[in-house]
Structure 1
Amino acid sequence: MLPDATLTNGSPQQIAHRLAAAFAATAAERDAQGGTPKTERDALRASGLLALSIPEAYGGFGANWRLTMDVVRTLGRADSSIGHVFGFHHLMLATVRLFGSTEQWSAWFEQTARRQWFWGNALNPLDERAISRSHQDWREFSGQKSFCSGALDSEMLIASARDADTGTLLIAAVPTGRSGISVAQDWENMGQRQTDSGTVTFEKVRVENHEILADPGPLSTPFACLRPLLAQLILTNIYLSIGESAFNDARHYTLREARPWHAARVEKTAEDPYVLGQFGEFWVGLEAARVLTDRAAERFDTAWNRGAALTEAERGEVALAIATAKVAATETGLSICTRMFDVAGARATHGALRLDRHWRNLRTHTLHDPLAYKLREIGEWTLTQRYPTPSFYS
């Protein structure tokens, strides 16, 4: 059972693969249940992987983003909800690094690695119901945020609110258990059912000035503008992991359970030329998405290592690489999650298998922001050589 010492020994990749095997065994059952994957989250805490992207100087593994994305994808193939909250945890840590001062992020990194904190999200820039008011040497946050992935069962939150007087977006790192913060168990969507992406309510929450990430602040420099690109890169890897998982399940069921269609005049489904052709198309799509996604991660690492010296043009090149990979992962994944039943056959729709969860998970998550706008950004670059304008979604 989880957690187990055998799941926490070895390299990050070895740990991730052992955890993924354990998570996969209960993924379909937990999809039916919904709610919080508490056992699995605690296994991640015990594994040390919550410190994966934290530099070694602060007690972490010191992994680069390519390796971190590989682990997100490994976990996501087993259970996309787990990959989601794990990836967003590291996005929240990166938010502190990109928007905050050295004094802020170094202390939070150290405590996260030492105490195995899980970070959750309450930063939804399109939901402007949360308002902040100034009270001398502290600020009040009041209101609500939706789509707060991983907030439940977290130790820390990245939260945002609009200044009541100026409308300025303020972002803070606060303990989830602080007085006035309540996390609702109201996530009941068709997919990503164990991400707890519901509502967080702030009722006159006291936020200290030193908890506000204002140095350099949100999207204030090309380096700070890497934050939305990391978010998009994490989403891309999650989408790709769902497509890979659907492919693996389709292959498994086609080889072991599917019966050939009588008109094919073959003894095995694996000999049907139409089935073989579809698996060929699945593979080509996945291989293209994998190459583009890994290239995007490598370019992101290069940009990250540039730090404050990163230019707008360098940031723009990374944005295009990630947008391209995201389009490929989305389109390929949705195709496989739908067409997998064409190759696996009618018996693959049995409710106990819950193979439909792949489509439900991907369809739910790919609505994060419309793919059409990613394609428009890419098209604008190809025609006018204009880089995507930095925002929380590009």
Structure 2
Amino acid sequence: MTVVHRLSSEQPLFESRLFPADFGSRTAGVEQLARQLAATAVERDRLGGSAPRERELLRDSGLLTLAVPQAFGGQGASWPEIYRLIRFLAAVDSSLAHLFAFQHLQVATILLFGTAEQQRHWLTRTVEERWFWGNATNGRDTGLVLSRQEDHYALNGSKSFCSGALGADALVVSAPRGADSEDRVFIVLPSQREGLAINQDWDGFGQRQTDSGTVQFEQVFVDSGELLGPTGPSPRTTLRACLSQLILTQLYLGNAQGALDAALRYTREQSRPWLGAGVDSAGADPFIQQRYGELWLRYRSALPLAEQAAERLQAAWSKPALTAAERAEVALAISEAKIVAVRAALEITSQIFEAMGARATSARYGFDRFWRNVRVHSLHDPIDYKVRDLGHWLLSGQGPAPSLYS
């Protein structure tokens, strides 16, 4: 059973006074897509597995080319706009928003690491052939080996947490350049390449339809032109980790937004006042009012940090050359946003039940999915280390060193 009051064409998907959503000329299309995803979000979360129909809705929306530069036929949207779209979609369907977000991360990977010719080739095909991208880039997973053959390369091994891989048209893959190398290279592969097997084995209790299972490689052929490069590590290329971290931040905030909106509607329309409250409706209970006020402050405190971080990232992205110090400033801003967003989202998605009451725990509402999504995804990398990075910077003046997660 879905929350049908969200699907009425006469009502906004979210209350505009709480969560305004203005995407300019894209607003109508984004609203339509969000309504389509919302119509089955609760049921699909319960089922888990993959969501091929909803992936096609994303493809048909025309939004998969947002990050592709106009020179290659894409829309060349800014990162702040893309992040707002991710957050909005995450409020109705965090898993599909995740897939949508990772599409743009793979496009960005090609832009950061690919040669001019590789960018033109792969991104033009992305637009013309309406590609959906997946990834096999888990940097902590060392089970994949790239080896040199006579006139090409071969991939053997496996990767885990490969979001979007199942059903993708192409993959961005990462592997060490050699058996003993700590330097990794990004590789672009068609998903139907012989020897490549994409498994449907993701079973997390949240983000249940992100197609984040394992990918196995058995003597997979890799042409030298499919290795992105020769761009090496630089402050600019390490923006990839910043892009990824800010994607996670939007997913947290989107879940918080969706949970708070759903809980407010439920409280107004279905919650019953407590016996000792002495009021006619749950919304008139001063304790419930205070709780919602506190949760609103959590969300409103996190949102500006996410917006500011996106603007800083865009400014850095737009520079042809980036210094290490400038890159560190972006990473610090994103760490601040992510820490506050995680804390706000975990509090909001769990405490809404104390405002709604026991009946709201019924599985038919699916309100628990917001917390499960945040809880699973907030473990992507420990926020304690980001808090430590901030403290280290305050004491020493040194920003975080570029890594897979900062």
Q: Look up the SS of the partner of 2:194 in the other structure.
A: coil
Partner residue of 1:7?
none
Distance across 2 between alignment mates of 1:35 and 1:116:
23
TM-score with structure 2 setting the length: 0.92
Distance across 2 between alignment mates of 1:341 and 1:53:
38
How large is the Cα RMSD of the aligned pairs?
1.1
Partner residue of 1:194?
209
Partner residue of 1:315?
327
- The answer to whether the aligner puts 1:225 opposite 2:238 as a matched pair is yes
Amino acid across the alignment from 2:306: T
CA contact (8 A) 1:258 1:345 kept: yes
Which residue among 347, 353, 374 is the counterpart of 2:359?
A: 347
Cα distance, 1:284 vs structure 2: 1.1
Amino acid across the alignment from 2:172: I
Counterparts of 1:118-157 in structure 2, within 5 Å, are 118-157=132-171
Equivalent pairs, count: 382
Counterparts of 1:318-337 in structure 2, within 5 Å, are 318-337=330-349
- The answer to whether the aligner puts 1:170 opposite 2:185 as a matched pair is yes
CA contact (8 A) 1:17 1:75 kept: no
Q: Look up the SS of the partner of 1:322 in the other structure.
A: helix
Cα distance, 1:164 vs structure 2: 4.1
Which residue among 210, 228, 252 is the counterpart of 1:213?
A: 228
Identity level (%) = 45
Distance across 2 between alignment mates of 1:188 and 1:335:
24
Q: Look up the SS of the partner of 2:172 in the other structure.
A: strand
Q: Which deviations, in whole Å up to 9, do the C-alpha atoms of 1:62-99 show, x marking residues without a partner? A: 10101111111111111000110110110011011111
CA contact (8 A) 2:67 2:76 kept: yes
- The answer to whether the aligner puts 1:269 opposite 2:307 as a matched pair is no
Q: Which deviations, in whole Å up to 9, do the C-alpha atoms of 1:261-307 show, x marking residues without a partner? A: 11211111111111111111111111111111011101100000002
Distance across 2 between alignment mates of 1:113 and 1:78:
26
Displacement over 3 Å in runs of 4+? 163-166
Q: Look up the SS of the partner of 2:164 in the other structure.
A: coil
Q: Look up the SS of the partner of 1:203 in the other structure.
A: strand
Q: Look up the SS of the partner of 2:319 in the other structure.
A: helix
Q: Look up the SS of the partner of 2:360 in the other structure.
A: helix
Q: Which deviations, in whole Å up to 9, do the C-alpha atoms of 1:21-79 show, x marking residues without a partner? A: 11011100000111111111111111211101111121111101011111111111110
Distance across 1 between alignment mates of 2:404 and 2:117:
24
Amino acid across the alignment from 2:323: T
Cα distance, 1:13 vs structure 2: 3.4
- The answer to whether the aligner puts 1:100 opposite 2:146 as a matched pair is no
Distance across 1 between alignment mates of 2:75 and 2:175:
32
Cα distance, 1:113 vs structure 2: 0.9
TM-score with structure 1 setting the length: 0.95
Q: Which deviations, in whole Å up to 9, do the C-alpha atoms of 1:296-325 show, x marking residues without a partner? A: 101100000002x11111111110111100
Partner residue of 1:296?
309
Task: Give unpaired runs (5+ residues) of structure 2.
Answer: 1-23
Cα distance, 1:118 vs structure 2: 0.5
Distance across 1 between alignment mates of 2:264 and 2:113:
44
Partner residue of 1:35?
49
Amino acid across the alignment from 2:295: F
Task: Give unpaired runs (5+ residues) of structure 1.
Answer: 1-9
Q: Look up the SS of the partner of 2:165 in the other structure.
A: coil
Amino acid across the alignment from 1:281: E
Cα distance, 1:12 vs structure 2: 2.9
**Cα pair distance change 1:342/1:161, threshold 3 Å:** same
Q: Which deviations, in whole Å up to 9, do the C-alpha atoms of 1:214-269 show, x marking residues without a partner? A: 3213xx01110100000001110111100101101111111111111112111111
